[in-house]
Amino acid sequence: MRIQFVLFSMLIYAAGSMQPLHAQEPKTADEVVARMLARDGIRESISGGYTGDREYVLENHLFQKRAQMLVRVNCDRNGMKHFEVLSEDGWKSANKRVLREMLVTESDSSHPDTRRKSRITSDNYTFRMIEVSSLDGRMVYVIEVIPKRQDKSLFRGRIWVDAEDYALARVEGEPAKNPSFWTRKVYFVQQYQKKGPFWFPVMTTSVTDARMFGATDVNIRYFDYKPVSAAPTGLPSSSFMEAHNDKR
């Protein structure tokens, strides 16, 4: 049995408490994304990477089976991710063929030469402003993200960009290309939260509808995320994704 899931390399965290790069507020989706990437470039240039822990929980409704895995992630300054499985329990086949494969896929896609092909940039996506809204009490730009090619490493959906910090606050969508013949549909939501000057992922939820195995949920909880080193005095705080985006 093999169920393929796609997790996207997005911007993993974004720092706040920085002065605007331009005096005027952005008016288009392209301007918002450009500012987000510019901020991310500054953050990456002074970042020491980050460390954190994740809890993966997989549940299959048809067979009523469950798999659980605790993972530690170390991200280098250049965005390359390294995973260490701390513990695993439950459905052994799913742990081996799904959750561990997800780690391999994410690690491979975080390689600098590969990462640029999946980042939320104008090379990979077309952007359309939907609205200015509120998320968890903060103003955000809600932007439609349209992939420029059918690629399993890209997605179609929406991003929420914090209007003050120009950091990813939420990402949701589906793969631009179906990851497997056995998969009918995959839908994911990734949420970020500001902790001090940084933005970290706090939860990813995904639902996969597979032809033979029905609906399978994968929930990832992120905790104890922290930068390897703090920004030097007088410089903006440092930062994906993942995404996210990496997105991250």
Tens-digit pLDDT profile for residues 149-162: 999 889 999 999 99
Tens-digit pLDDT profile for residues 164-195: 999 999 999 999 987 765 577 889 999 999 87
Tell me: pLDDT of 7 over 80: no
- Under the banding of pLDDT at 50, 70 and 90, the label for residue 115 is confident
Is 53 or 13 the better-scoring residue by pLDDT?
A: 53
pTM of structure: 0.81
Task: Work out whether the CA dihedral 129, 131, 134, 135 comes out positive or negative.
Answer: negative
**CA–CA separation, 248 and 119 (whole Å):** 8
The mean pLDDT value for 108-121 works out to: 90
Lowest mean pLDDT among 24-33, 123-132, 175-184, 236-245: 236-245
Average pLDDT, the chain: 82
CB 239 within 8 A of CB 233: no
Q: Which helix (H) or strand (E) holds 29?
A: helix 29-46
**CA–CA separation, 49 and 65 (whole Å):** 36
CB 143 within 8 A of CB 121: no
Considering the segment(s) 29-227 as one domain, its CATH architecture is Clam (2.50)
The domain locations on the chain are 29-227
Both tokens assigned to 173 = 């969508």
CA gyration radius, the chain: 17
CB 190 within 8 A of CB 245: yes
Is 44 or 165 the better-scoring residue by pLDDT?
A: 165
**CA–CA separation, 97 and 100 (whole Å):** 6
